[in-house]
Amino acid sequence: MNEIEILKRKATEIRMELLTMIYEAGTGHTGGSLSSTDILTVLYYHIMNVDPKNPKWEDRDRYVQSKGHSVEAYWAILADKGFFPKEELKTFSQFNTRLIGHPNNKVPGVEMNTGSLGHGLPIGVGMALAAKMDGKSYRVYTLMGDGEQAEGSVWEGAMAASHYKLDNLVAIIDRNRLQITGSTEDVMSLEPFADKWRAFGWEVVEVDGNDIEQLVEVMEGAPKAAGKPTLIVANTVKAKGISFAENVAKWHHHVPSKEEYQLAMEELSKQLEVLQ
């Protein structure tokens, strides 16, 4: 099994884990977690330089999940990497848990509390600027949602990143085209999306955000230009991996019924079998 196949298998396992978390907790953001799973898998298992045994290591790469509501894949990956025990995933969204419905920096591996949309990119800009000022070589990665692009602070951060020539900053947008109230283009149209970011001084590349091989190629090549921050527009499918949920708006925060959960797990199990 080559590395791409290993990453595909890992992404499927993470989907199964996060779906179980949501089903057992009776709450969660299913669609966005599933759409961003491949992105996070490539980041954490192939790209980023982090150490679960030393999560505050000064030279670690930084990751900020701006679309904090889609936290389930993030929790599953941090546990699988060894930042905290896997058994703790069973406490997701339970009373007194650390694993709440948004990233919580009391959990090892989480840099910042996030979830109030529009804040992740400006935080990432600050981290990347600090690295430049301190002469550090670490990189900063920030994942945003496409519905989040209606927030003005995103564009303030975009201007600052370009102004300070932060080529150690890579922003990724989970472009699944659906937000809580429907289509992004109906709620607040974004197109021409890539051109807007280019106008703000970013190097922009578009990719199939559910294609592991494409993600590896693009992320290995980031930053794409010296002196410019990089934006990866990751075109994804909401609720990727579950055929009856894909591109269905209600799955933004729909909790699967017992029957839906069983059907979804059967589908994902078959995907694993193909990857044997």
**48 close to 216: Cβ distance less than 8 angstroms:** no
User: Does the pLDDT of residue 180 top 90, yes or no?
Assistant: no
List, for residues 64-75, the tens digit of each pLDDT value. 999 999 999 999
Average per-residue pLDDT for the chain: 94
What's the pLDDT band for 190 if we cut at 50, 70, 90? confident
Q: Is omega for the bond preceding 108 within 30 degrees of 0, making it cis?
A: no
What's the pLDDT band for 184 if we cut at 50, 70, 90? confident
Predicted confidence at residue 187, as pLDDT, reads 75
List, for residues 111-149, the tens digit of each pLDDT value. 999 988 999 999 999 999 999 999 999 999 999 999 999
Predicted confidence at residue 275, as pLDDT, reads 82
User: Does the pLDDT of residue 39 top 80, yes or no?
Assistant: yes
User: What is the model's pTM?
Assistant: 0.96
Mean pLDDT of 4-18: 97
**267 close to 242: Cβ distance less than 8 angstroms:** yes
Question: What ranges in 61-192 are assigned the alpha helix state H?
Answer: 72-81, 120-134, 152-163, 184-187
Q: Does domain 3-274 have CATH number 3.40.50.970?
A: yes
Euclidean distance between CA atoms 172 and 233, whole angstroms: 6
**124 close to 156: Cβ distance less than 8 angstroms:** no
List, for residues 198-221, the tens digit of each pLDDT value. 999 999 999 999 999 999 999 998
CA dihedral over 268, 273, 275, 276, signed as positive or negative: positive
What's the pLDDT band for 7 if we cut at 50, 70, 90? very high
